[in-house]
Amino acid sequence: MSDLNKLGLAEARDALRKGDVTSVELTESCLKAIDDADALNAFVHKTPEIALERAKAADARIKEGDAPSMCGLPIGIKDLFCTKGVPSQAASKILEGFKPEYESTVSQQLADAGAVMLGKLNMDEFAMGSSNETSVYGNAVSPWRRGNDDAQLTPGGSSGGSASAVAADLCLAATGTDTGGSIRQPAAFVGITGIKPTYGRCSRWGIVAFASSLDQAGPMTKNVRDAAIMLETMCGHDPKDSTSAELAVPNFEALLTGDIKGKKIGIPKEYRMDGMPAEIEKLWADGAEMLKAAGAEIVDISLPHTKYALPAYYVIAPAEASSNLARYDGVRYGRRAHLAQGDGITEMYEKTRAEGFGHEVQRRVMIGTYVLSAGFYDAYYNRARRVRTLIKKDFEDVFAAGVDAILTPATPSASFGLGEMTEADPVQMYLNDVFTVTVNLAGLPGVSVPAGLDAQGLPLGLQLIGRPWEEGDLLNTAYALENAAGFVAKPGKWW
* Residues between 129 and 168 that touch other proteins (CB under 8 A): none
What end-to-end distance do the CA atoms of the chain give, in Å? 23
Q: Which of 289, 386, 483, 493 binds other proteins (CB under 8 A)?
A: 386
* Residue 23: CB minimum distance to other proteins, A: 31
Q: Which of 245, 283, 460, 485 binds other proteins (CB under 8 A)?
A: 245
Residue 461 sits at the vertex; the CA angle it makes with 284 and 416, to the nearest 5 degrees, is 115
Q: Which of 43, 380, 399, 487 binds other proteins (CB under 8 A)?
A: 380
Q: Is 130 in the active site?
A: no
* Residues between 299 and 338 that touch other proteins (CB under 8 A): 305, 307-308, 310-312, 314-315, 322, 326, 329-336
Using the rule CB under 8 A, is 351 a contact of other proteins? yes
Q: Which of 389, 420, 493, 494 binds other proteins (CB under 8 A)?
A: 389
* Residue 318: CB minimum distance to other proteins, A: 9
What span, in angstroms and rounded, lies between the C-alpha atoms of 366 and 131? 21
Secondary structure (DSSP) of 49-96: HHHHHHHHHHHHHHHHS---TTTT-EEEEETTB-BTTB---TT-GGGT
What span, in angstroms and rounded, lies between the C-alpha atoms of 313 and 388? 8
Strand order in the sheet with 459-466: 43-46, 116-121, 74-78, 173-178, 216-221, 193-196, 446-453, 459-466, 405-409, 264-268, 297-301
* Residue 245: CB minimum distance to other proteins, A: 7
What span, in angstroms and rounded, lies between the C-alpha atoms of 316 and 324? 12
* Residues between 84 and 103 that touch other proteins (CB under 8 A): 97-101
Q: Which of 1, 151, 366, 401 binds other proteins (CB under 8 A)?
A: 366
Using the rule CB under 8 A, is 399 a contact of other proteins? no
Closer CB to other proteins, 308 or 495, in the complex = 308
Selecting among 23, 29, 158, 322, the annotated active-site residue is 158
* Residue 98: CB minimum distance to other proteins, A: 5
Strand-strand pairing, 264-268 and 405-409: parallel
What span, in angstroms and rounded, lies between the C-alpha atoms of 25 and 432? 39
- Cα distances from 20 to residues 114, 259, 341, in angstroms, run 18, 31, 65
Q: Which of 37, 121, 183, 387 binds other proteins (CB under 8 A)?
A: 387
Closer CB to other proteins, 98 or 495, in the complex = 98
Q: Is 104 in the active site?
A: no
Q: Which of 255, 273, 298, 339 binds other proteins (CB under 8 A)?
A: 339
Query: Are residues 76 and 120 in contact, defined by beta-carbon separation less than 8 angstroms?
Result: yes
What span, in angstroms and rounded, lies between the C-alpha atoms of 252 and 237? 16
Closer CB to other proteins, 253 or 394, in the complex = 394
Return all residues near 381 (Cβ < 8 A) that are at least 6 apart: 315, 316, 319, 371, 372
Burial class, 91, CB count within 10 angstroms (exposed 0-12 / middle 13-18 / buried 19+): buried
Return all residues near 377 (Cβ < 8 A) that are at least 6 apart: 371
Nearest to 127 by CA among 55, 69, 196: 196
Q: Which of 144, 189, 357, 416 binds other proteins (CB under 8 A)?
A: 357
* Residue 340: CB minimum distance to other proteins, A: 10
Select the span of 16-24, 184-192, 285-293, 345-353 touching other proteins (CB under 8 A).
345-353
Closer CB to other proteins, 241 or 279, in the complex = 241
Selecting among 23, 130, 182, 415, the annotated active-site residue is 182
Query: Are residues 461 and 451 in contact, defined by beta-carbon separation less than 8 angstroms?
Result: yes
Select the span of 47-55, 223-231, 388-396, 485-493 touching other proteins (CB under 8 A).
388-396
Using the rule CB under 8 A, is 384 a contact of other proteins? yes
Closer CB to other proteins, 52 or 390, in the complex = 390
* Residues between 174 and 233 that touch other proteins (CB under 8 A): 199-200, 213
Query: Are residues 487 and 298 in contact, defined by beta-carbon separation less than 8 angstroms?
Result: no
Residues counted in the chain: 495
What span, in angstroms and rounded, lies between the C-alpha atoms of 429 and 327? 27
Q: Per-residue contact track with other proteins, 409 to 448, x per CB under 8 A?
A: ----------------xxx--x----------xxx-----
* Residue 236: CB minimum distance to other proteins, A: 15
Closer CB to other proteins, 17 or 392, in the complex = 392
**Residue 410, CB half-sphere, CA atoms under 13 Å: how many?**
35
Closer CB to other proteins, 174 or 384, in the complex = 384
Q: In angstroms, what is the C-alpha Rg of the chain? A: 21
Closer CB to other proteins, 8 or 334, in the complex = 334
* Residue 383: CB minimum distance to other proteins, A: 5
Q: Which of 73, 367, 405, 460 binds other proteins (CB under 8 A)?
A: 367
What span, in angstroms and rounded, lies between the C-alpha atoms of 65 and 59? 10
Using the rule CB under 8 A, is 467 a contact of other proteins? no
Size of the site for other proteins (CB under 8 A): 71
Cite the active site residues.
Answer: 78, 158, 182
